[in-house]
Amino acid sequence: MSAQKRRAAVLGSPIAHSLSPVLHRAAYEELGLSDWSYDRFEIDEAALPGFIGELGPEWAGLSLTMPLKRAIIPLLDEISGTAASVEAVNTVVFREDGRKVGDNTDVPGMVAALRERGIEQVASAAILGAGATASSALAALARICTGEVVAYVRSDARAAEMRQWGERLDVAVRTEAWEDAREALDAPLVIATTPAGTTDALSALVPERPATLFDVLYDPWPTELAARWSAYGGAVVSGLDLLVHQAVLQVEQMTGHAPAPLGVMRKAGEHALAAR
């Protein structure tokens, strides 16, 4: 497959901050795919159909970030069950027959990141936030959580959305007000899906013996919550862990080479973040 030039890229808006080119290029170099390239393109929902329509046969795949994970779906020939379950595609692979196939590697990426830290199964969990990442977190918990998931949200509308996602994904979801989010910190697994700074006030409330925190942010890192959690001896999974694990799956799908070099990709991401 590397005999001819092959292209892949990440699309989104804004996109300048994306670490995906760093991770994928590191993988290509390690795998000896010297004729592969991976770029980034600032593309919004309005520009997406035109961009997709102009892609030539050299294209192998695309990574999608916000706000394109739903907008891409009508432009595809097929999507995986995982992508359908959360109505979000972050990976497109162009088949040799011309078909465009969408998948979601965020969900199995979350599961893999937790498994890497020894988290195979939990009896219950808490989610901080109710945005797009929260639905992926619920889908991941559908695979590893045997009991109730409590979501802490800021509005009745968000609460209703999370309960609907729970029904769809067959996860027992209870919603609570954000004002009670301190109660989340006692859960066996806490997944923070909120924007930077949102959980800072909770850092002073971390229990003396916390369990596991999965904070989906990676820049800036560590968050105040993750730093306090780690200082108290709790296990912390970072947004970089998620980013690398989902990118590993993307590389494998787009190139056909498996396993992708997880360690090399993580190191490249760490170096890029340190340089910022």
Q: Which are the catalytic amino acids?
A: 69
DSSP state of 151: E
The region, left, alpha or beta by phi > 0 then psi within -120 to 50, assigned to residue 118 is: left
- Note the residue count of the chain: 276
The residue with tokens 């990141």 is 113
Question: Within a 13 Å sphere around the CA of 161, how many CA atoms are in the beta-carbon half?
Answer: 16
> Which run of H or E residues covers position 208?
none
> Which run of H or E residues covers position 245?
helix 239-255
Four-point Cα dihedral 67, 45, 98, 40, nearest 10: -60
How do the residues of the chain divide into helix, strand and coil, expressed in percent and rounded to 5?
45, 20, 35
